Structure 1
Amino acid sequence: MNSDIIFRYFPDLSAEQKSQYTALFDLYRNWNNQINVISRKDIDELYVRHILHSLGIAKVMQFKSETKVLDVGTGGGFPGIPLAIMFPEVNFHLVDSIGKKIKVVQNVSEALALKNLTAEQTRAEQVEDQYDFVVSRAVTRLKPFYQWVKNKFRRESFNDLPNGILYLKGGDLQDELKEAKKKYQLYDLAAYFEEDFFETKKVVYVPVIP
């Protein structure tokens, strides 16, 4: 599997973006040999299970220039790095509590010359800045996640959706969404991507600023 799958679903990429997406495989494979940021069996599926999955957010939300996005529990840089390539005019701050994962993020970002991305070893609750959107990929259940990030939002919204959470989740979410007791919209990624992997994958959007 190579980066062509990204170009098929996102045909309007610049030459630089194509080059950056293509470079991701070798960068992650090399880092994965030193620090296990992606499961060994998953590295060959990097483009579908990690990069394209991250870009599910780009199918439901086109961030406008100067939007500030916080990626909580980014791990090796997902969804933040694929989104930072997709939206070069948007500012991304990626956080994770595990230092070696942030080291990978910083090095991958540097190799790609991403000027719109910063990465920091910290917990979500300790982040002091404010953002338009918080993105994440199945870090925990929505209810505790909401508590971590609810005070991290700027009051003024200027994107097509009011400021809030864009959360990549899979499986049966009924109980989790009921437990969270928040307004939400569900976007089914199978509507955008035809691979079997996306059959139960969704983006959960939770507005935080009314």
Structure 2
Amino acid sequence: MEKAQEKLALITKYFGDFTPAQLEQFAALEPLYTDWNSKINVISRKDMESLYEKHVLHSLSIAAAFEWAPGTEVVDLGTGGGFPGIPLAIFYPEVRFHLVDSIGKKIKVVQAVSEGLGLTNVTAQHSRIEDIKNRKFDFVVSRAVAPLQHLWQWSRPLLKKPSATQHRNPGLICLKGGDLAAEISESGCKPTVLEMYEIFREAYFKEKYLLFVPNT
């Protein structure tokens, strides 16, 4: 129990006001992923040692930068094992998340973890993102390893149009690392770029960035 509290301290260091239920859900992430990862490898074994820093807190950088109203609809493009979607779904219980991946076994893990946590605001779909039709979202989020140009190309058809009542334009939010100058230039996009180290003062977050491309 002490070890779990120690790991949660990395999250509560930056975020307050969690309900006991949310803290329980965050604490349950490690045993759930450890169990499922032994059956279907979705997180490298090395990364499992730092699950809360490299996956959970990394995902929550979006929550630190964006405030989402209840009823907001978010699609997680290439969710893999459920990041950033599942930590964000714990953080925002009144926001609806749709987690999509083209690899069926990853979606199986996402569904099992969501059920294990008792999340009622998560749906999951085994699909290529470009095959999703007749649905629109407020935001696309992604940690998928794909160039920004492709992420924007896939995201744009899924985004709602801007409206005067919205606090912020719909758009793509993606998590990336390293030197992004060439990638941004090639994309033709003009994203807002936030340095994660400005949000989380942990060595791991140096040279990691959060990019937002609005659907204008």
Q: Is the CA contact (8 Å cut-off) linking 2:79 and 2:144 kept in structure 1?
A: no
Residue 82 (structure 2) pairs with residue 77 (structure 1): yes
Task: State how far apart, in whole Å, the 2-side matches of 1:183 and 1:90 are.
Answer: 27
User: What is the letter of the counterpart of residue 158 of structure 2?
Assistant: K
How is 1:110-189 mapped onto 2 (pairs within 5 angstroms)?
A: 110-128=115-133, 129-157=135-163, 158-189=165-196
In the alignment, what sits opposite 2:3?
A: none
Task: State how far apart, in whole Å, the 2-side matches of 1:174 and 1:66 are.
Answer: 35
User: What is the letter of the counterpart of residue 36 of structure 1?
Assistant: N
Task: State how far apart, in whole Å, the 2-side matches of 1:19 and 1:4 are.
Answer: 13
Shift of residue 161, structure 1, vs aligned partner: 2.1
Larger displacement relative to structure 2 (159-168 or 102-111): 159-168
In the alignment, what sits opposite 1:40?
A: 45
TM-score by length of 1: 0.97
Residue 92 (structure 2) pairs with residue 87 (structure 1): yes
Shift of residue 156, structure 1, vs aligned partner: 4.0
Task: State how far apart, in whole Å, the 2-side matches of 1:70 and 1:111 are.
Answer: 21
Shift of residue 160, structure 1, vs aligned partner: 3.0
RMSD across aligned C-alpha pairs, in angstroms?
1.1
State the identity as a percent: 48
Q: Secondary structure of the residue that 1:150 maps to in structure 2?
A: helix
Shift of residue 183, structure 1, vs aligned partner: 2.0
Match of 1:96 among 77, 82, 101: 101
Task: State how far apart, in whole Å, the 2-side matches of 1:19 and 1:9 are.
Answer: 17
Q: Is the CA contact (8 Å cut-off) linking 1:69 and 1:91 kept in structure 2?
A: yes
CA distances 1:104-154 after superposition (whole Å, capped 9, x unpaired): 000000011101000010011011211000000043000011111211011
Task: State how far apart, in whole Å, the 1-side matches of 2:172 and 2:121 are.
Answer: 20
How many pairs does the alignment contain?
A: 209
Shift of residue 7, structure 1, vs aligned partner: 1.4
Q: Is the CA contact (8 Å cut-off) linking 1:7 and 1:18 kept in structure 2?
A: no
Shift of residue 205, structure 1, vs aligned partner: 0.2
Task: State how far apart, in whole Å, the 1-side matches of 2:145 and 2:110 are.
Answer: 17
Task: State how far apart, in whole Å, the 1-side matches of 2:195 and 2:142 are.
Answer: 16
User: What is the letter of the counterpart of residue 132 of structure 1?
Assistant: D
User: What is the letter of the counterpart of residue 124 of structure 2?
Assistant: A
User: What is the letter of the counterpart of residue 153 of structure 1?
Assistant: L
Shift of residue 159, structure 1, vs aligned partner: 4.4
Task: State how far apart, in whole Å, the 1-side matches of 2:177 and 2:108 are.
Answer: 27
Cα 1:135/1:57, change in 2 over 3 Å:
same
Residue 195 (structure 2) pairs with residue 192 (structure 1): no
User: What is the letter of the counterpart of residue 200 of structure 1?
Assistant: E
